[in-house]
Chain A
Amino acid sequence: MNASLTPRPSTQAAGVRADRVRVHFPTRAGTVKAVDDVSFDIRPGETFGLIGESGSGKTTLGRALAGLQPLTDGRLFYDGREPASLNRAERRRQRRDHQIIFQDPHAALNPRMTIAQSVMEPLDILGDGDRASRRRVADEALERVGLAPQIGRRYPHELSGGQKQRVNIARTLTLRPRFIVCDEVVAALDVSIRGAILNLFADLQDEFGITYAFITHDISVVSHVSDRVGVLYLGRLMEQGPAAAVCEQPLHPYTQALLSAEPLPLPSDQRDHRRRIRLQGEIPSPLNPPSGCPFRTRCPRAEARCAEQVPEWREVAPDHRVACHFAGPA
């Protein structure tokens, strides 16, 4: 195969479906149900946002989506096919199609390799083309993310956080992936440059037709970039639907609390009318999650029933699903 950075037609973007996915970790103290019975689909070419606090299982789910974490139970489909049904060549192809970009741009780069070496490494491993053509693809990728090719001679410590994250994006781009899991990719960056990196992700999606799973704890980011969103709490999906619906008319009490907890840069006279929901306590230990609905211990609407029955994952509006007995506007 010839290495190049030419765009694919956007119709080739990958669709992903998660069907009752579970990832459990056995520990001495018991089983941690990091992801527990989660189902959703990511449409080809869209950005699917996953919001959750620490301990919600969002990173484990991201790793599972990228094929880095075996499932305890449930199934994942890529373009309608399960990885297990693929032959060796197809699986190799799929590994290249599915990539992940991590939170800490510095930790993701080898400090002893030049930027060019890091960006070329995936192609070196795959043995695509000759050295000169790999170098050309790397330069092209660096240029595409807004860095001068001369930066290739430098080492990670000479770059700023934003530049390093651009390098990580360039490295991923050399493989021309169709699906990228973005795990907190702007969390480590200053607010002043987040916009530029998020714009870059959007441009690459338009150009190369990439599907994103965008994992973050930052509601304003997820609400801005996503087409559809899923809200995770203690390893379970609480709500899922179009970004506008979930972020503007959330139906699950947890989503409502999460949105109202976001500090807004508004003058005092414009903030008072906002409904504030203050949750008590913190997310319980995933070693010992509450019975029934996992959110009931902090939920302002909880009743006896919530401790007994796990709420059904039901569709309340087209493509808008919620797991709550008492779901409704705040």
Chain B
Amino acid sequence: MAHEETGSPPLLAVEDLNIAFVHPGGETAITRDVSFTVGAGERVGVVGESGCGKTVTGLSLLGLLPKRTARVRGRILFQGEDLLTMSPRALRRRRGRDISMIFQEPMSALDPVFTVGEQLTETLRAHYPVRRKEARERAIAALEEVGIPSPHLRIDDYPYQFSGGMRQRVMIAMALICRPKLVIADEPTTALDVTVQAQIIDLLCELSDTTGTALLFITHDLGVVAETCSRLLTMYAGEVVESAPVDTVLRRPAHPYSSGLLRSLPGLSERGGRLPSIPGRVPAPSEMPAGCRFQARCPHAADGCEQGQPLRQLDRARLARCWRSAELTLPGAVTP
């Protein structure tokens, strides 16, 4: 982890994040004791099946969960300050300027009745005292930076006049216009075609390299993580089950769930042969088993898995929530 090597504190440190949704019948826990860090400029991928709590975790970092129904406990330290105890006003000052977000579906994240220029300058002017003219110039520069041709003309277009890939570029321009320290990208390429996805991935990596922006990349696609990130967090049933450098996980995953996800990728099996899969499904939040939450689907479950599983430190850079990690040799995407 980058921050450990440099000795400086991480950009983002999430500690024991417990998110629950409150309803008339009580409370349903969505995540349990989620802890992780993101170093300055680091790119961290978050993977897991649908229903594992990836998106909810991402939204909670920006305080975007509904106040009435979501109960968020724990600490979200951004540059040492806890975002959860911060005043709404102070949080608003950081949101969009220091931390921003890219959503999966650019059409629903952009406002259809304002031009992209108006939306870009709104973000900028909300945080900095810039004049209208200068804001417009900065917005044109931001569109140019994300590879939109003739930005001085396109700035006055409405979102519907852009294609899917171009809209996602606009979203990226908007997320980066204030030069944030951290961008949370929730499935930013899932709605795009594969050739366009490749362009957007390249763009995100390039911009993160040049501006030093850290990325928290939420995706279900392990291929995308391998191409963009240096560290991988695997989430299962509301918990972080593994945290390790991407290359390490691809060779030697330490948690059976990470291994199962990797083995399920069809590109890794012999053409026409049997495809591995993970039997069963993610347990519903209301019916979480005691002990290891993955045990019912795990090919390596044994006596002892019914015990609660802490996230154990395996070596300097690796954590896994499985007491058998040390004795198991789990297959990854490639042979080591």
Across the interface, which residues of A come within 8 angstroms of B264, CB to CB? 191-195
Interface stretch (choices A36-44, A85-93, A256-264, A309-317) = A256-264
The 0/1 profile, CB within 8 Å of A marked 1, for residues 63-95 of chain B is 000000000000000000000000000000000
**Contacts A265-B262, A270-B334, A278-B198 known; A196 to B226 CB distance under 8 Å?**
no
Bound form: Cα–Cα A110–B196 in Å: 35
Across the interface, which residues of A come within 8 angstroms of B281, CB to CB? 160, 162, 193
Within 8 A of B (CB), among A224-263: 224-225, 243-244, 247, 257-258, 260-263
Residue of B whose beta carbon sits closest to that of A161: B50
The answer to whether B250 and A199 have CB atoms under 8 Å apart is no
Q: How far is the CB of B141 from chain A (nearest CB, A)?
A: 21
> Mostly helix, strand, loop or mixed at chain A's interface?
helix
Interface stretch (choices A75-83, A174-182, A213-221) = A213-221
The 0/1 profile, CB within 8 Å of A marked 1, for residues 192-224 of chain B is 011111110110000000000000000011111
Number of interface residues of A (CB under 8 A): 44
The answer to whether A224 and B194 have CB atoms under 8 Å apart is no
Residue of A whose beta carbon sits closest to that of B271: A224
The answer to whether A268 and B267 have CB atoms under 8 Å apart is no
Across the interface, which residues of A come within 8 angstroms of B195, CB to CB? 53, 257-258, 261, 279, 282
Across the interface, which residues of B come within 8 angstroms of A195, CB to CB? 264, 266, 274-277
Across the interface, which residues of A come within 8 angstroms of B298, CB to CB? none
The answer to whether B250 and A267 have CB atoms under 8 Å apart is yes
The answer to whether B227 and A194 have CB atoms under 8 Å apart is no
Across the interface, which residues of B come within 8 angstroms of A194, CB to CB? 264, 266, 275, 277
Q: Is A103 an interface residue (CB 8 A)?
A: no
Q: Is A283 an interface residue (CB 8 A)?
A: yes
Bound form: Cα–Cα A243–B271 in Å: 9
The answer to whether B223 and A264 have CB atoms under 8 Å apart is yes
The answer to whether A263 and B49 have CB atoms under 8 Å apart is no
A/B pair count, beta carbons within 8 Å: 134
Across the interface, which residues of B come within 8 angstroms of A265, CB to CB? 222-223, 225-226, 250, 262, 265, 267-268, 333
The answer to whether B246 and A261 have CB atoms under 8 Å apart is no
Bound form: Cα–Cα A135–B333 in Å: 44
Q: Is B261 an interface residue (CB 8 A)?
A: yes
Q: Is B313 an interface residue (CB 8 A)?
A: no
The answer to whether B272 and A225 have CB atoms under 8 Å apart is yes
The 0/1 profile, CB within 8 Å of B marked 1, for residues 262-289 of chain A is 1111111111000000110011000000
Q: Is A54 an interface residue (CB 8 A)?
A: yes
**Contacts A190-B50, A263-B227, A264-B226 known; A223 to B271 CB distance under 8 Å?**
yes
The answer to whether A192 and B193 have CB atoms under 8 Å apart is no
The 0/1 profile, CB within 8 Å of A marked 1, for residues 250-273 of chain B is 110000000011101111110110
Across the interface, which residues of A come within 8 angstroms of B262, CB to CB? 265
Q: Is A330 an interface residue (CB 8 A)?
A: no
Bound form: Cα–Cα A195–B274 in Å: 8
The answer to whether B193 and A262 have CB atoms under 8 Å apart is no
Bound form: Cα–Cα A266–B220 in Å: 16
Bound form: Cα–Cα A267–B230 in Å: 10
Q: How far is the CB of A93 from chain B (nearest CB, A)?
A: 31
Across the interface, which residues of B come within 8 angstroms of A219, CB to CB? 194, 267
Across the interface, which residues of B come within 8 angstroms of A190, CB to CB? 49-50, 220
The answer to whether B197 and A261 have CB atoms under 8 Å apart is yes
The answer to whether A221 and B271 have CB atoms under 8 Å apart is no
Residue of A whose beta carbon sits closest to that of B281: A160
The answer to whether B334 and A271 have CB atoms under 8 Å apart is no
Q: Is A198 an interface residue (CB 8 A)?
A: yes
Across the interface, which residues of A come within 8 angstroms of B221, CB to CB? 191, 263
Bound form: Cα–Cα A28–B195 in Å: 30
Within 8 A of B (CB), among A138-167: 160-162
The answer to whether A266 and B226 have CB atoms under 8 Å apart is yes
Instruction: List 10 A–B pairs whose Cβ atoms lie within 8 Å, in order of A's numbering.
Output: A160-B281, A191-B265, A195-B266, A199-B274, A219-B194, A224-B267, A247-B271, A263-B224, A282-B164, A283-B193
Known: A53-B193, A223-B266, A278-B198; 18 extra A-B contacts, CB below 8 A, are A53-B194, A162-B281, A191-B221, A191-B265, A199-B274, A202-B272, A220-B267, A221-B266, A223-B271, A224-B275, A257-B195, A261-B195, A264-B267, A265-B267, A271-B227, A279-B195, A279-B198, A282-B166
List the 4 closest pairs (A to B, CB-CB), nearest first: A195-B275, A263-B223, A195-B277, A220-B267
- The interface of chain B, by Cβ under 8 A from chain A, is 49-50, 163-166, 193-199, 201-202, 220-227, 246-247, 250-251, 260-262, 264-269, 271-272, 274-279, 281, 333-334
